[in-house]
Amino acid sequence: MTNAKGQSRRDVMVGAGAVSLLGLSGGLAQAASQDPVLRTAHGPVRGLKDGPIHVFKGVRYGADTGPRRFQKPVAPASWKEVRDATSYGAASPQRGDRQWDEDCLFLNVWTPGIRDGAKRPIMVYFHGGAYNSGSGSAELYDGRRLAETHDVIVITVNHRLNAFGYLYLPFLTGGQFADSGNAGMWDLILALKWVKANAAAMGGDASRVMVFGQSGGGAKIATLMAAPDAKGLFHSGATMSGQQVTASGPLNATERARAFLAEAGLDPSDTEGLLNAPAERLVEALSVSDPINPALGLYMGPVLDGRMLTRHPFWPDAPAQSANIPMILGNTKDETRNLIGRREPDSFSLSWEDVPVRLARHMRVDINPETVVATYREAYPDYSPSDVFFAATTAGRSWRGQVDEADVRGSAEHPTWVYQMDLPSPDDGGKWGAPHTIDIAHAFGNLDAPGSITGTGPAARRVSDELSTAFVNLARNGNPNHDGLPQWGQYRLSERATMVFGETTRLVDDPRKVERELFARVPFIQWGT
């Protein structure tokens, strides 16, 4: 299989390996003899040392999905020779210039030790990108600092996205490709099975696996909380600005598949055509408008297919199978300042007359925009029109799902802790506030990494230590509390205790109560479902 630039993954890896190893003064053989080897259940792989941390990149956890397009993944064939694991594997096919390939089931490991019996917690990160884009290979997700600081294992994962992972085909193909609508979720389940099988080899504890993820990554975790085949594969979870209250119904998913295949010029009755169409052709067809809401791009996401997913993730209640899984739910105070503001920069200079019209387009809940504006103006008299717009779209579009998830878990007394990220980004004079993605760098401790918007000042360093340590403690002990935080009480409907990370980190009961109550007047259905 080849990537978007016509290179095979093997070509890319060999080239990268030649540069990184042959350039060492000791030569290839000497360098290879000093590099760590991880003996996985499928075969040995050779990585690199980054300070005290053993790093293995591009480790195969699943077979090439190209020959199994739209089907459940399978474990790779075993190998005996030591394979290179010094460069990242390909991402799933997607729009943009990222290196991609249908052969994309790879993960990356950062561990302080190998087969040393240390039984470290294992923190598995799922990347964002709304099920459509991204990979686990971004520098922002580099796990070295987190692994070294806290003596944990960090893993990031690539899996199938967009049509390759979520195109629901059974109704259009006479029942074929029954698992196509959740192929990307089956990939993640396979990755977690790999983690369980290789925990001891990595120096980890198979009974202390935590999943964490931001945006789409958090939504994937919420979905797995209700997936029967994921039961027992992880023991705690943290979602950052990523919720999945409802899944796509099979009828809407079928209409989206129909529109996508028409754009790609493919006949669903032509099985060979579906399986053999160039990946580039499928990627190009992702530009089609959504048939359910033509004003938006095509939605792809998990489907209530009765197989991988037999119920909605968090509707009408919290799934019983994950009742005992400790969970952190987090959002940022100003999610949409970059989600919308970067695409529509004039949102920062709105008049009061502009706000209701733009709110109607962006809130994604059916509520009177005039009522919303009036409520915000009364509650926050110092807010500008743009402040009201960003606050209301954050509450109605990005925060509402977290409220619903926290409420159903809290009402059932499932172990749940909620946070709100208030510490603003210093970029561009602070215009972005605390926007979507800002908590990623804090969680990894990568404040200075490419893509970070946190800055590296004293407050950012303190918040990063507070949040990352809370995540590690959840992974290690099932409870995020630590000496560097105020006592963090569990979320219950009587208080709605929320840890607010800001210039001063504090526990607040029911922050933004007026906003929560405003949007609670109308039902919330996850966009696309």
- The tens digit of pLDDT for each residue in 384-428 reads 999 999 999 999 998 999 999 999 999 999 999 999 999 999 999
| Contact of 386 with 362, CB cutoff 8 Å | no
| 3-state SS class at 213 | strand
DSSP 8-state code for residue 394: I
Residues 72 and 191 in one domain: yes
| Contact of 26 with 81, CB cutoff 8 Å | no
d(CA 447, CA 464): 8
Among 194, 177, 125, CA closest to 154? 125
pLDDT of residue 25: 41
d(CA 141, CA 293): 33
Catalytic position from the list 135, 137, 215, 452: 215
| Residue at which a domain ends, from 194, 213, 240 | 240
What is the count of structural domains for the chain? 2
Mean pLDDT of 108-123: 97
Residues 236 and 357 in one domain: no
Residues 460 and 336 in one domain: yes
Residue 299's pLDDT band, with cuts at 50, 70 and 90, is very high
In terms of C-beta distances under 8 Å and separation of at least 24 residues, what long-range contacts does 317-321 make, across chains too?
317/408, 317/412, 318/405, 318/408, 318/409, 318/412, 318/414, 319/225, 319/226, 321/225, 321/226, 321/228, 321/231
pLDDT of residue 22: 38
Structure tokens at 106: 């790879």
Residue 75's CB is within 10 A of a number of other CB atoms, namely 16
Mean pLDDT of 124-140: 96
Residues 235 and 353 in one domain: no
| 3-state SS class at 446 | coil
| Contact of 54 with 113, CB cutoff 8 Å | yes
Give me the domain span that covers residue 86.
9-240
Residues 341 and 444 in one domain: yes
282 in a structural domain: no
Among 385, 375, 462, CA closest to 422? 462
49 in a structural domain: yes
* E strand residue ranges, 348-505: 416-421, 497-501
| Contact of 284 with 264, CB cutoff 8 Å | yes
200 in a structural domain: yes
508 in a structural domain: yes
| Contact of 78 with 149, CB cutoff 8 Å | no
d(CA 324, CA 240): 20
| Residue at which a domain ends, from 216, 240, 264 | 240
524 in a structural domain: no
Q: How are strands ordered across the β-sheet holding 44-46?
A: 37-39, 44-46, 83-84
Dihedral (Cα; 409, 410, 412, 413), 10-degree rounding: 110
Mean pLDDT of 285-298: 93
The yes-or-no verdict on residue 225 having pLDDT over 70 is: yes
The yes-or-no verdict on residue 26 having pLDDT over 90 is: no
Residue 6's pLDDT band, with cuts at 50, 70 and 90, is very low
Residues 342 and 482 in one domain: yes
Structure tokens at 12: 């890319």
> φ, ψ for residue 436 (rounded to 5)?
-50, 135
d(CA 129, CA 295): 19
| 3-state SS class at 497 | strand
Q: Using DSSP bridges, classify how beta strands 497-501 and 506-509 pair: parallel, antiparallel or unpaired.
A: antiparallel
Residues 375 and 498 in one domain: yes
Q: Using DSSP bridges, classify how beta strands 106-111 and 53-60 pair: parallel, antiparallel or unpaired.
A: antiparallel
Structure tokens at 195: 């983690």
Q: Which amino acid is at 133?
A: S
Longest dimension (CA), the chain: 71
Residues 363 and 225 in one domain: no
Among 218, 146, 152, CA closest to 188? 218
- State the CATH number of the domain containing residue 201: 3.40.50.1820
The helix (run of H) or strand (run of E) holding residue 257 is helix 250-264
274 in a structural domain: no
> φ, ψ for residue 477 (rounded to 5)?
-120, -5
Q: Using DSSP bridges, classify how beta strands 53-60 and 48-50 pair: parallel, antiparallel or unpaired.
A: antiparallel
Residues 335 and 235 in one domain: no
Summarised one tens digit per residue, pLDDT across range 312-322 is 999 999 999 99
Structure tokens at 144: 């070295």
| Residue at which a domain ends, from 208, 240, 272 | 240
Residue 270's CB is within 10 A of a number of other CB atoms, namely 13
The helix (run of H) or strand (run of E) holding residue 468 is helix 458-477
| Contact of 129 with 161, CB cutoff 8 Å | yes
pLDDT of residue 5: 39
Residue 529's pLDDT band, with cuts at 50, 70 and 90, is confident
DSSP 8-state code for residue 520: T
Residues 378 and 507 in one domain: yes
Summarised one tens digit per residue, pLDDT across range 8-22 is 443 344 334 433 433
Residues 207 and 338 in one domain: no
341 in a structural domain: yes
Active site residue 347: no
pLDDT of residue 7: 42
Instruction: Give the angle subtended at the CA of 472 by the CAs of 469 and 478, to the nearest 5°.
Output: 120
Helix, strand, coil: what percent of the chain each, to 5?
40, 15, 45
Residue 346's CB is within 10 A of a number of other CB atoms, namely 10
308 in a structural domain: no
The yes-or-no verdict on residue 339 having pLDDT over 90 is: yes
